[in-house]
Structure 1
Amino acid sequence: MAFLRKTVDGLERWASVMHQYYIVDWVFILFLLCGFLVLTEMTPFRSMFTLDDPSIQHPYAANDRVSSINGVIFSTVIGVGIIVIFVPFLHRNRNWGHVMNVSLLSLALSLLLTEFATEMFKNFIGRIRPDFIARCLPAPGTPLHELVGIEVCTNPNFQVISDGFRSTPSGHTSNAFAGLGWLSAWIAGQLKVFQHGTELFRTMLAILPLFGALIIALSRIEDYRHHITDVLFGGILGALVAWYSYRKFFPHLGKATCNMPFPPPQFTDKTMAESDFYDSLDEMESGTQKAYSD
């Protein structure tokens, strides 16, 4: 029975550590990442189209104004860098390790949950991009006014054609608002911009990431990668997930303690009170000893 008692104590300690450092939540983030990677490899739904549709006759831009790599840098790397650099400074007299861990977890949740949802929508909606005709290079003699499918395309680069069916929602936009929108809320909380008497420059610092997200969103329209409704959809999706991810771990921005995340959950969920459990172990042990004595 002593071995069982030690085992239970050890499991409780590990469970307490997992709760304190949000290990289960980080594992969920890993699953979201795996799901996102699987969705990116899926073939999207291929909508039918007509060659005389002016909304898909825009030119194909070989180079984006904001590349995918730059989008990741703006949405992810900048946020992570700001957290790592400024949290020890802003919370030097407190448990800044907890603040950093929760902040990184909240940002990761916002980004990966948005990416997962974005890729899922892209694959199942299958809306055609504004530059699709230039991607497709339809075969000569293809009817102009009839619905046709991907079989009329002659572009040898199938990846470019397939990506033409992934217009809704805008991934750059949703990711920008998920990362930079979250960062805007985080800065507002850390600098307490909604507290009475807060300097104007703090508010401007909090708003600045939103302008960056907006510029990225507008660049997707200028490159003819997305329709304006795709950008609106992506922006709303990213902003909603960012706000949910932030509020899951941080108080409302109007509170005096908005710069501090919620305390780590305590491991108190037990099917039996600890004293009752150990009493039952003692009864079992005494019963066993009595059986041997008899």
Structure 2
Amino acid sequence: MAGLVKQLRNSSHLRWVAPALLVDWIVVIVVNLLAQWVELQYPYKRDPAHYLNDPSLQWPVTEEHVPAGPNSALDNYTFWLPVVVILVVGGIFKRSLHDVHHGFLVFMSSRTLMRVVVECLKNRVRKHSLLRLACTRRLILFPLQVGRLRPDFFSRCQWDAVAHACRGPLELVKDGRRSFPSGHSSTSWQAMLFLSLYLAGKNGAFAFAAPFPRSGFLQSRLLRFGLVITPLFLGTWICVTRLEDHRHHPTDVVTGSLIGALSALVMYATYYPSPFIFTAPPGGHCEDELSVMDKPRRVYGAKEADERDAWGYAEEGRVRLVEDAAEEEEEERQIRA
């Protein structure tokens, strides 16, 4: 981490910094607060009396395989694991403050996007809300799913036919009305697909046209590919547990997974080059570890023309970029020394 501290003292390593990045973080914070507020709203209230004979809602309440909440297993898998990977890969192996920053920005922005979409679908916002046009059941893609009851709803509800009301704990019943879409599934696929893309952008697992100058043990294509797809297996397992625990219907899990995956994909593509396309770095030099694959885009502040290549750089500015690359390599050698 000492290398990162030295980069902070050296302005040549901070060319990527732009005021617009501060605005990006402000947007992430504001939208996250908005999602938090939507989560506190009471979900659309369906009358359980219409579903008394529905066998899909009669499952018992069971202990969760992957509990949610502060310091929970879900947090460990979908928040702390990506944070540690970004710090280790970007901070220790790559020693790039640029990569660490953009890694966190992509992760948090995709997580925020996923969260606000899921919460708007889970909770129908009331009529007096400013979000009525965005979150009411009239305009969403799945109008019949808002306020969908969980498979274990009647075990939570403890339905009283005489009073025509639920006798179960209020918070437990409220959560039982938030089946669609699956928050666990969306969170896990957002985090795990981000990790997969982030790692693929480092080791070139998906860049099939990328050359490997050497043939050592670590150059194995299958080894790199296995490392990249491992997070996807973890995300899939979390989704399966939601069905085993009777917390969600299959369509809840599929929809939640799609929301999380699309959020990660869109935000990653905003700040990083495609991990599927091999593009020679400025100067055409390719390192043994495919360092060409690991540089985030210079999204803001580029002085070149608007037309840029896959790196986010203009062709006419490549001469300066080659000089910058050589200068940065020399500085990195001095830092490591």
TM-score, normalization: structure 2? 0.68
Q: Could you tell me which of 122, 128, 131 is aligned with 2:149?
A: 128
AA paired with 1:106? V
What value does the CA root-mean-square deviation take over the aligned residues?
Answer: 1.9
Structure-1 residue corresponding to 2:251? 229
Larger fraction in helix? 1
Offset of residue 209 of structure 1: 0.5
Of 93, 104, 116, which aligns to 1:90?
Answer: 93
* Shift in alpha-carbon separation, 1:207–1:66, aligned structure 2, 3 A: same
The residue aligned with 2:28 is 29
After superposition, the Cα gap between the structure-2 partners of 1:18 and 1:83, relative to the gap in structure 1 and judged at 3 Å, is closer
Alpha-carbon separation, structure 2, partners of 1:90 and 1:140: 63
Q: Where do residues 199-214 of structure 1 align in structure 2 (5 Å cutoff)? A: 199=220, 200-214=222-236
Q: How does 1:124-203 map to 2 (within 5 A)?
A: 124=124, 125-140=146-161, 151-155=164-168, 157-195=169-207, 196=210, 199=220, 200-203=222-225
- Find the residue that maps to 2:189 and give its secondary structure: helix
Tell me if structure 2 keeps the 8 A contact 1:177–1:238: yes
> Which residue of structure 2 aligns with residue 6 of structure 1?
none
Distance 1:17 1:187, change over 3 A: closer
Is 1:258 the counterpart of 2:258? The answer is no
User: What amino acid does structure 1 have at the position aligned with 2:67?
Assistant: S
Q: Which has the higher contact order (CA 8 A, sep 6+)?
A: 1
User: Which is greater in Rg?
Assistant: 1
Match of 1:146 in 2: none
Q: Which residue is 2:84 aligned to?
A: 81
Q: Which runs of at least 4 in structure 1 moved beyond 4 Å after TM superposition?
A: none
Q: What percentage of aligned pairs have identical amino acids? A: 29
Distance 2:175 2:91 in 1: 42
What is the CA–CA distance in structure 1 between the aligned matches of 2:65 and 2:103, rounded to whole Å? 30
Q: Does 1:55 align with 2:56?
A: yes
Structure 1 counterpart of 2:240: 218
Secondary structure at the residue paired with 1:127?
coil
Match of 1:118 in 2: 118
- Tell me how far 1:258 sits from its aligned partner: 3.3
Structure 1: where are the runs of 5+ without partners? 1-15, 143-150, 269-294
How much does 1:116 deviate? Answer: 1.1
**What is the count of residue pairs matched by the alignment?**
240
Deviation at 1:267, TM superposition (A): 7.6
One-letter code of the match for 2:156?
A: R
Give the letter aligned to residue 132 of structure 1.
Answer: F
3-state DSSP class of the match of 1:89? helix
Cα distance change of structure 1 residues 190 and 17 upon mapping to structure 2, 3 Å threshold: closer
Cα 1:17–1:259 change in 2 (3 A) is closer
The amino acid of 1:130's aligned partner reads P
Distance 1:70 1:36 in 2: 22
- Measured in 2, the distance between the counterparts of 1:207 and 1:17 equals 30
Secondary structure of 1:107's counterpart equals: helix
